[in-house]
Structure 1
Amino acid sequence: MKKVGLVIVGAIAVAVLLSNLGSIVGLAISLAILYFSAKGFVKTTSLFMKFVWGTVAVIAALSAIANVPAILGLFALYLLYVIYKEWNRSKSQDEPISGDPFVNFDKQWNELSEK
């Protein structure tokens, strides 16, 4: 029953992610432009170039603000990551980890304390 719930929530998250994929790409591009324009603004000494870089930064910031729905898509991506980890965790709980030295710690501790 738990797996069915994970599949349903995962399907909804995939739909949300795919519907916001354009906004995510737009947000990434506008944040990259904003980063490089802020970096150029700090490096330059010319007043004209500071004005140019500042204008580019403001336009990129407005573009990033316009792509706020991408945050919903990023949340859906994180939710898919959590579902993937939960799916693998429930699978790994059924099988003991053979390479882990702490699996049989209690048994070994009891053997040592008896000696």
Structure 2
Amino acid sequence: MNNLDDILAINARFRQTWDQSIPYILDNDPSIEEPGVLYAHLQVDPGNRDRLSIGQRSYKQIGRIILDVYVPAGDSVEEGWALIEQFSAAFTDWHTDDYRLRCDPPEYRTDDVEVNWFIITASVPYTAEH
């Protein structure tokens, strides 16, 4: 596996488990920002790579899967948190069939610095062996 394989596996898992009635963008997709419409943005940050052994060319990639849910300002955050919980359930302790990519429980934060949005974020640490 390499970083692209990791990203493709993560994106596939997201698409399989996401409520398709909720708009979302992946990494560098064009923005959806429609006034008053809740949406999500999934990003994969491959992070740091550490060598696992001296003799072999094997590495441990330590990255993050980040989901930002944009709730329109003034709307209830209930639906946004429900989506974050759905995402968290899909990725907590998830792994690929070969166990080369493994996820840990997420961290959460909220942010209301955007004028028109309240943002709820889940950040899932993952480890991949390459």
The verdict on a shared fold, with TM-score over 0.5 as the criterion, is: no
Q: Normalising by structure 2, what TM-score? A: 0.25
Q: Normalising by structure 1, what TM-score? A: 0.27
Could you say which structure has the greater relative contact order, defined with CA pairs below 8 angstroms and 6 or more residues apart? 1
Structure having the larger proportion of residues in strand: 2
Larger radius of gyration: 1
Structure having the larger proportion of residues in helix: 1
